[in-house]
Each structure stands twice: as structure tokens, then as C-alpha cells.
């Protein structure tokens, strides 16, 4: 079979289970595709061909012994801010360019227990700070639907790897939309679970109260399969919640009868691309056809303050988290100095990129004496209001539906010198991180060949309802089956 790299997790699992293909064959097919596509899209920072083939051989032994789980032997790509033992974890930053972790992140360990095959580590905006994957210290990643456009960020490499069929699935992280926005821009499925549903242990921190790991997949069923494995309590992560995890596959039913869906008007923002608005209206009408009760008259009036609050909260946490990169114990260390203090200063000056330094300065200013109450404390109060507003909405509705992004993917370089315009890319996604609720982006259509994503939001720990709605819509459309012209 020449197109094994195009398989979904479910399809690959059935073939592996039936011994019609081997994990080694599947891995070789993905590595071949990766080598071809990487010349155009640049989705990966590190490719681990030798390690992947060894893992595939181990998976084949497990399959021969009858120990085959849904993800056994399925090749994946991991975002490069999750620790992988023996494999470089750079966060797409010069300061960690040669860092090799001595341990695995919990999510990687869980996938390893099922027989994961790691093809490589995905490119990203440096330390996950960005919306376009142009802030990588190494190279920008390109959108496979149009190589002159961005794939979104910061998990752009993960989304591109799945959209371009370099990997069967990928892991990303989401602090303000970093899984959902690139999933929308690349026409794949991306889920940000509820804060605390998936362990953050081994995820290199950006903003600890906002970060969350989640899957990027080719369809909704695959998303449910990955969520089944990576979810659950972890004693290594104090923010991990010990609630039981349902079998998300059971939620995949193709009708929406009796479900109440609200459409918040604030997410159809001023400046939204008219074609995106039309696609969203068509997609929501399809949800009604599938049996959902849709209310177009929903208001979340504090949404307009979310962007400002986020860009105080996230940089404040980043300034604290990134203080550890001083060049003393690990990572890049500037040596040509006369004092320890100068060495630490120069390490950060030359180790961090422009966007990371911008956010560190923003956060340090917001936390400084005399400004803490005016900025950080006020932003935390706004955060509480946003969360309470979502809670009230979910007393009435089972889910909310919004665009994933107000525009289609923009051109490379178009917003690099305009940070405010770049930050506005996440206007539909970041309130969800502030509130800690789950969200999923699924393919909803195209504007002149460029993808548009639909975002579905739900109650805390109710990923099952989001997957149900996403699956029903997916079964009634074929947007997820479209492939980029690579």
C-alpha cells in the first residue's frame, strides 16, 4: 500500500490488529512522506527516524503477542515543548537548542505505555508565544493549503504534520488557542481539554494557569481515542483533577436531538471576514438540521475584555516561569563575561527571541511594585467575571458554537511587525483558556481554498458533549476528508 501515511488512527489500528500491515511498514511510509513534505512545509524541528523504527519494532512484537491497544504502533509527532527522554526538547528556542530531557512528560509516558512511535518533534512559536509559528528561532512553518500563508500557532508544526499526512496524529499545547487556531487554519481537528483533565507534568511552562495539552487529529473519532489515553489524574501535577475519565468513544453518536446550543454574538466580531461569517451560519444551520436547538441570541458581554486580561495574565506568568533560564544549570549559557550577573543577562539577551522578550517585559511590568493592583489583580478579577459568565451560559446551554478564528490564514510576514494584529488572531479562542473550559475546533469549510474552523465550547469536564456535536457535524459533511494540494 503506497498511501499508508493517509490512514486515520482507527483505520491503522484495524490493519495492525488484523496483521495486514506492520508498524514498521506504517512508520516507514510516514517517514517517507515526512521527508518529501518537509521540503515545503517545515513542520518538524527534530526527526527521529532511527528511534521511531525501533519503537515500531517493539510495537510489532506487542501486536504479535496479542497486546494491541488503539494507539499501539501508530506514528505520532509531539510538540517540541513536551519533554521526551533522550530526544531534544528545544521549545523552538536558542536557549534550549541542545537540551535533552532525562525524563518523559506524563502524556508521553502514557502514550509510551500503549506502544507509541515518535516520528519527531514539531516546530512551534518560541516557548509557545505566538499565533503563526513565525516566532520559532529556527524557521517558520508553512500552511500546506497555501505555502505563502501561516499555519497558525503556536502548535503550527503539529497541525501541519497532521494536515500534510506526515504523522497519523500529533500532540499540541494550548494557552490561548494554540491547538484550536492552527487546527482551524489547517483543516484538522484540535481539542483543548478542560484545565486539569490532562497532566501538564513535563510540559515546558509558558503560563501555568492557562496551559493545557491536547490532541490534533484527522477526525473526531481519532481525537476521542487520543483523549482516552492522555486524560486522567497525575500525582506529579498538583493542578491535575482526580475525576474519573469517561470512554470518549461512547459519546460519538451522529444526532444532536435535545441538545441546546447557544451562539454568542460577541464572537462574530467587528472586522470578521464576511466569507467566514457565511460559512459559520451554514455550519450552524447544519447543526439545527441534525436536531440541535439553536439560540442565536446569546450574549457574553465580558468577552470584549478577555484579550486585554489575557495579555496581562499570560505574560505575567511567563515572566516568572522563564526566570529559570539563567544559563547556570542547563541550556544556552553566555560565557564571555566578567561577572555572574552579566553572564545571566547576556544569556537571556542572546538566548530569547524578540517575542519572548516582549512578553517577559510586559509581564514583569504588570507584576512590578505600584502596578500589580492596577494591572495583574484587575485582570484576575476580569478572569473571574468571564468564568462566571460561561458558567451561567452553561446552565441554559449544553454547548456554545463560535468561529475558531475571525479570518482565514493570513500571509507569512503580514503581521510580524504588528503585535496587536497578531494577538487579535486569538480573539475567539483565548477566553476559553481564561475560563478553563474545554473547546474543540473542527473543519467547517473553505474560502478560496483556505480552511475555516468551527469552535465548540462546553462545560468543565464535559469533553464528551463537544465530541458528540463535532462527530455529528463531521458525519454530515466531508470537509475533514479534503486534502491540501501538496
pLDDT digits (tens, 9 = 90+) for 202-212: 999 999 999 99
Query: Active site includes 178?
Result: yes
What is the C-alpha to C-alpha distance for residues 153 and 355, in angstroms, rounded to an integer?
Answer: 13
In percent, the amount of the chain with pLDDT more than 70 equals 100
* Residue 455: per-residue pLDDT: 98
What is the C-alpha to C-alpha distance for residues 187 and 160, in angstroms, rounded to an integer?
Answer: 9
The fold of 4-258 is: Amidase signature (AS) enzymes (3.90.1300)
Query: Is residue 315 very low, low, confident or very high in pLDDT (cuts 50, 70, 90)?
Result: very high
Query: Is residue 336 very low, low, confident or very high in pLDDT (cuts 50, 70, 90)?
Result: confident
pLDDT at 1 over 80: no
Q: What are the distances in angstroms from CA 196 to CA 178, 245, 424?
A: 17, 12, 26
pLDDT digits (tens, 9 = 90+) for 255-283: 999 999 999 999 998 889 999 999 999 99
Selected catalytic residue, list 178, 240, 319, 441: 178
* Residue 37: per-residue pLDDT: 98
Selected catalytic residue, list 79, 110, 121, 459: 79
pLDDT digits (tens, 9 = 90+) for 66-111: 989 999 999 999 999 999 999 999 999 999 999 999 999 999 999 9
In percent, the amount of the chain with pLDDT more than 90 equals 90
**DSSP letter (8 states) at residue 269:** -
Query: Is residue 41 very low, low, confident or very high in pLDDT (cuts 50, 70, 90)?
Result: very high
As a whole number, the mean pLDDT across the chain is 96
Query: Active site includes 316?
Result: no
Helix (H) or strand (E) segment spanning residue 216: strand 212-217
* Residue 269: per-residue pLDDT: 80
* Residue 328: per-residue pLDDT: 86
* Residue 15: per-residue pLDDT: 97
* Residue 327: per-residue pLDDT: 85
Query: Active site includes 154?
Result: yes
User: β-pairing, 212-217 with 169-174?
Assistant: antiparallel
pLDDT at 2 over 80: no
* Residue 330: per-residue pLDDT: 84
What is the C-alpha to C-alpha distance for residues 295 and 396, in angstroms, rounded to an integer?
Answer: 10
* The three grid cell numbers given for residue 249, joined into one nine-digit string: 468513544
Query: Is residue 347 very low, low, confident or very high in pLDDT (cuts 50, 70, 90)?
Result: confident
* Residue 236: per-residue pLDDT: 98
Mean per-residue pLDDT, 309-316: 96
Mean per-residue pLDDT, 8-20: 97
Amino acid at each position: 500500500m503506497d498511501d499508508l501515511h493517509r490512514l486515520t488512527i482507527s483505520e491503522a489500528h484495524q490493519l495492525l490488529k488484523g496483521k495486514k500491515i506492520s508498524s514498521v511498514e506504517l512508520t516507514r511510509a510516514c517517514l517517507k512522506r515526512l521527508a518529501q513534505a518537509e521540503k515545503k512545509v517545515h513542520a518538524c524541528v527534530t526527526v527521529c527516524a532511527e528511534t521511531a523504527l525501533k519503537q515500531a519494532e517493539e510495537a510489532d512484537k506487542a501486536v504479535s503477542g496479542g497486546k494491541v491497544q488503539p494507539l499501539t504502533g501508530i506514528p505520532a509527532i509531539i510538540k517540541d515543548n513536551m519533554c521526551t527522554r533522550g530526544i531534544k526538547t528545544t521549545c523552538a528556542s536558542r536557549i534550549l537548542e541542545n537540551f535533552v530531557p532525562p525524563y518523559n512528560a506524563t502524556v508521553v509516558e502514557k502514550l509510551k505505555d500503549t506502544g507509541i512511535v515518535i516520528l519527531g518533534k514539531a516546530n512551534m512559536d518560541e516557548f509557545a508565544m505566538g499565533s503563526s509559528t513565525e516566532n520559532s528561532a529556527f524557521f517558520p512553518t508553512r500552511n500546506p493549503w497555501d505555502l505563502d500563508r501561516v499555519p497558525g500557532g503556536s502548535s503550527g508544526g503539529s497541525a501541519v504534520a497532521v494536515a500534510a499526512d506526515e504523522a497519523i496524529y500529533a500532540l499540541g499545547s494550548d494557552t490561548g488557542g494554540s491547538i484550536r487556531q492552527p487546527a482551524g487554519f489547517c483543516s484538522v481537528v484540535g481539542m483543548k481539554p478542560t484545565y486539569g483533565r490532562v497532566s501538564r507534568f513535563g510540559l515546558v511552562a509558558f503560563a501555568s494557569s492557562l496551559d493545557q495539552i491536547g490532541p490534533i487529529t484527522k477526525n473526531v473519532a481519532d481525537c476521542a481515542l487520543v483523549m482516552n489515553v492522555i486524560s486522567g489524574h497525575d500525582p506529579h501535577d498538583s493542578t491535575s483533577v482526580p475525576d474519573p475519565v469517561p470512554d470518549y468513544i461512547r459519546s460519538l453518536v451522529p444526532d444532536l436531538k435535545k441538545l441546546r446550543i447557544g451562539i454568542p454574538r460577541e464572537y462574530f466580531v467587528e472586522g470578521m471576514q464576511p466569507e467566514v461569517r457565511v460559512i459559520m451560519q451554514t455550519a450552524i444551520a447544519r447543526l439545527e438540521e441534525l436536531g440541535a436547538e439553536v439560540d442565536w441570541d446569546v450574549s457574553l458581554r465580558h468577552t470584549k475584555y478577555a484579550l486585554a486580561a489575557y495579555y496581562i495574565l499570560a505574560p505575567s506568568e511567563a515572566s516568572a516561569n522563564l526566570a529559570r533560564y539563567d544559563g547556570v544549570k542547563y541550556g544556552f549559557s553566555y560565557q564571555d563575561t566578567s561577572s555572574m550577573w552579566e553572564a545571566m543577562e547576556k544569556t537571556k539577551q542572546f538566548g530569547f527571541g524578540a517575542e519572548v522578550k516582549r512578553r517577559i517585559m510586559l509581564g514583569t511590568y504588570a507584576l512590578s511594585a505600584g502596578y500589580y493592583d492596577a494591572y495583574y489583580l484587575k485582570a484576575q478579577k476580569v478572569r473571574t467575571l468571564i468564568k462566571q459568565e460561561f458558567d451561567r451560559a452553561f446552565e441554559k446551554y449544553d454547548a456554545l458554537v463560535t468561529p475558531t478564528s475571525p479570518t482565514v490564514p493570513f500571509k507569512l510576514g503580514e503581521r510580524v511587525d504588528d503585535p496587536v494584529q497578531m494577538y487579535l488572531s486569538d480573539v475567539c479562542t483565548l477566553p476559553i483558556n481564561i475560563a478553563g473550559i474545554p473547546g474543540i475546533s473542527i473543519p467547517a469549510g473553505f474560502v478560496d481554498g483556505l480552511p475555516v474552523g468551527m469552535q465548540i465550547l462546553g462545560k468543565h469536564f464535559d469533553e464528551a458533549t463537544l465530541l458528540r456535536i463535532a462527530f455529528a457535524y463531521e458525519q454530515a459533511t466531508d470537509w475533514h476528508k479534503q486534502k491540501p494540494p501538496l
